[in-house]
Amino acid sequence: MPYLALDTSTEHLSLAISTQQGIVTRNWPAGQKHAEMILPCLAALLEECQLTMEDIQGIAFGNGPGSFTGLRIAAGITQGLAFARGIPVLGVSTLAALAAGCDADQVYACLDARMNQVYCAAYRKQDGVWLEEIAPCLCDPDAIPVPSGDNWLAAGSGFAMYGDALKNSLGTRISSIDATRFPLAKDILALALPDFVAGKGLAAHEAELVYLRNKVALKTHERISK
């Protein structure tokens, strides 16, 4: 069944739809124009897949951490589309999606959090399943948690902005760096699909946004008053 995923947590707009032929995905550099781009881009992707929103059975979205404005856009669009169709939603960690998109079994995911800080987490793949070794956290670049073992792939915009400080903290535990990688909707969808199939989707108002800077997770109806 067709499912939709979207991410607006970074300067990119990323969309994906599962089809009988596999996941179809498109990504655009959006800057600060996510809100005006997302619906026209979604309409174009649906047309490309020869689908309409009536065909979509659930929506997954990057629920953070990331740009506060971007996260609110993703949640708002997801909530509106899901309410209109009466379909379930799932929020997926942007850091987990970042790791899942890498060609590695151990990923240290790190995104620029602005204000001279980073969002980071560490994940290992075991028997095809991603396991969280270090939970998502907000840190100064020179005070990040260090994973156990070696041969970690370091990925994400945090390494583009604060590469020297992060490399000093991680030392020889990292084997390579991909500072250009960002969370992609196709990886959000791949992580969410097993839960959708298992009936674990949530009602639209139960979806959470994760704001690590405030150390809270807000449901979409709660974010409106913030």
Q: What is the mean pLDDT of the chain?
A: 94
Residue-wise pLDDT tens digits, 120-166:
999 999 999 999 999 999 999 999 999 999 999 999 999 999 999 99
pTM of the model: 0.92
Burial (CB count within 10 angstroms: exposed 0-12, middle 13-18, buried 19+), residue 99: buried
DSSP letter at 22 equals E
DSSP letter at 202 equals B
Residue-wise pLDDT tens digits, 28-64:
999 999 999 999 999 999 999 999 999 999 999 999 9
Q: Of 80, 85, 78, 87, whose CA–CA distance to 9 is shortest?
A: 78
